[in-house]
Amino acid sequence: MASVSDITTQTTQQKNAEKKAKAKQDAAAGTGTNPNAQLDKDAFMKLLLTELQYQDPTSPMDTEKMLTQTSQLASLEMQENTNKMMQKLADQLKNSTNMYAVGVLGKMAKIGDSGIVKEEGSGVKFAGFLESAAKGGTINIKDGTGKLVRKLEFGQASAGANTFEWDGKDSAGNDARAGSYAVEISYTDAAGNVKNGGVGNYLVEGVKFIDGIAQVKVGGQYVSIDKVKEFTEPKKG
């Protein structure tokens, strides 16, 4: 049969356990978190002090356990500080990228190779960039060996991106094979100077941000800045 002393000790331990459980819930509620979620450093310290306050006098918390919990508290605080530093660094990098994006206005953006891809049995529409308005010009389409497949002519065209179309046929009127083709654009400007245009290399006409990601306007449409392979200064004259 249990003695009065044993019953009293059991009752005290039970009450202390209930108080510690309630203190844990209060600590979590004080930080606006779920009691079953991970505690922050303030709630952790409050819980540790509560454990010390309501510990069983007949079985106090040992030093090793206390050191372990203190170490956990230090690790938790270090992790929080690291997370804050990483977030701050991410914000700085984001701001730096946005400032860089604004600085590319008026530069040439290379977003692809100077070629087009033809599908079997179909033609190709593509954007060609002209640095100045053209009175007229020619477009040479060549295969992978450099052989001329088709020569196209065009009339007046505005400066900037212009849409051109190849019907997919060679000089003999036969359907060209599917694959990649190089495009060479030559034109005469208003002053009679012969200049070269390009495909895949366009002037940056504008910059905007979507969900914090920079988008540059090239060839009449917006593309993500990470799609641009290279930015260069436009040619003078």
**Tens of pLDDT, residues 68-94:** 766 776 777 777 777 777 776 666 555
Say if residue 218 is in the same domain as residue 201. yes
Cα gap 27→25, rounded to integer Å: 5
Which of 101, 117, 138 terminates a domain? The answer is 101
Say if residue 112 is in the same domain as residue 75. no
Which of 54, 81, 101 terminates a domain? The answer is 101
Q: Which tokens belong to 28?
A: 């979590």
Residue 85 within any structural domain of the chain: yes
The single-letter code of the amino acid at 153 is E
Residue 139 within any structural domain of the chain: yes
Residue pLDDT, tens place only, 108-150: 888 766 788 899 989 998 888 888 899 999 999 999 899 999 9
pTM above 0.95, yes or no: no
Which of 62, 81, 101 terminates a domain? The answer is 101
Residue 132 within any structural domain of the chain: yes
**CATH number, domain at 117?**
2.60.40.4070
Q: Which tokens belong to 25?
A: 């819930």
For the chain, the domain total comes to 2
Residue 237 within any structural domain of the chain: no
